Amino acid sequence: MNNQNQDFQNSEVNNVSEHKQQVKILVVTGFGINCEEETAAAYRMSGANAYISHLNDLFSGKIKLGDFDLLHLPGGFSFGDDLGSGKVLADKLKFKHLPDGVSFFSEIKKFLAEGKFIFGICNGFQALVKLGILPNISGNFEQEVTLTSNSSGHFEDRWCILKRNRFNTSPFLSMIENIELPVRHGEGRLLFSNAIVRDKIIEMGLNCLSYCDLGGNPTDQYPMNPNGSELNCAGLSDPTGRVLGIMPHPEAYLSLYNHPEWPSMKRHGKSEKEEGEGIKIFRNIVSHIRKNKA
């Protein structure tokens, strides 16, 4: 275990709830999740205190979800995606009980009822969808959409241009119009359970990000739309805007030098900053939480 993890597992675990004005992020790991370090780095770069913890420490009661402002489910391949991406993780989150007999899912519902935030990227988005936390139009936490195999029939690892839905009010995406991020998934095609759900998502602006062509226009054309999602959808928020799930990986673009075309971008003045576009999403939510805590 590295030092960044040890600081939480040891003395910090008892101090998380003491500093009321600090933005406290819980980044979970375990069971095949593999993007926790860069995700925690993104929050730390944004001025938050980010802690990485194995899910078993939450299930055992060693760590209390309520001590945090935001729960983050990172990307990865939880349980090897053997029964569908995010499905086993979702079932574990839904049916696991804490030592006092309370279900962990009821703790998640309480967490949201207190006005706190959840962010899922890639595998984390898949789990949130299968838990019924996204989009949760009915408010009953029942699954309304799914993320399934890409239309291309294979794993997609490419960079995509994304456009924010101007009708979406999630603070995660505040002031963002277009953003370029990488995708890395085999099951990212978003499908709606029926036309009513689809229409409600459009009406409420929950389809927060769309895959776009080079001109920034939403497209269903491959490979600019890498998976064939309905509505060209790359992400969803819930009606409150406090829960966000996206397939692209903003934590994979924290530095300009993460981009495969960074030399050209620097030569031609397409980027004056050393940081990557992905940091914007993390800074948005950390800033929003801090203002609300003040």
122, 160, 208, 212: the catalytic one is: 122
251, 259, 277, 288: the catalytic one is: 251
Which residue, 218, 229, 205, 207, is CA-closest to 178? 218
**Cis peptide bond upstream of 248, omega within 30:** no
Look at residue 96 in the predicted model and tell me its pLDDT.
96
CATH 3.40.50.300 fits 3-293, yes or no: no
Contact, 185 vs 155, CB < 8 A? yes
- CA angle, corner 25, sides to 116 and 29, nearest 5? 115
**Cis peptide bond upstream of 74, omega within 30:** no
Contact, 173 vs 151, CB < 8 A? no
Q: What is 27-64 written as a DSSP string?
A: EEE-TTB--HHHHHHHHHHTT-EEEEEEHHHHHTTSS-
Look at residue 19 in the predicted model and tell me its pLDDT.
56
In whole angstroms, give the CA distance from residue 276 to residue 267: 16
Look at residue 20 in the predicted model and tell me its pLDDT.
59
Look at residue 85 in the predicted model and tell me its pLDDT.
84
The yes-or-no answer on residue 249 being catalytic is yes
Which one-letter amino acid corresponds to residue 132?
A: G
Contact, 186 vs 157, CB < 8 A? no
| Residue ranges in the chain modelled with pLDDT below 70 | 1-20
Residues 6+ apart with CB under 8 A from 26: 51, 53, 63, 65, 68, 70, 71, 72
54, 185, 249, 288: the catalytic one is: 249
Look at residue 83 in the predicted model and tell me its pLDDT.
78
Domain locations along the chain: 3-293
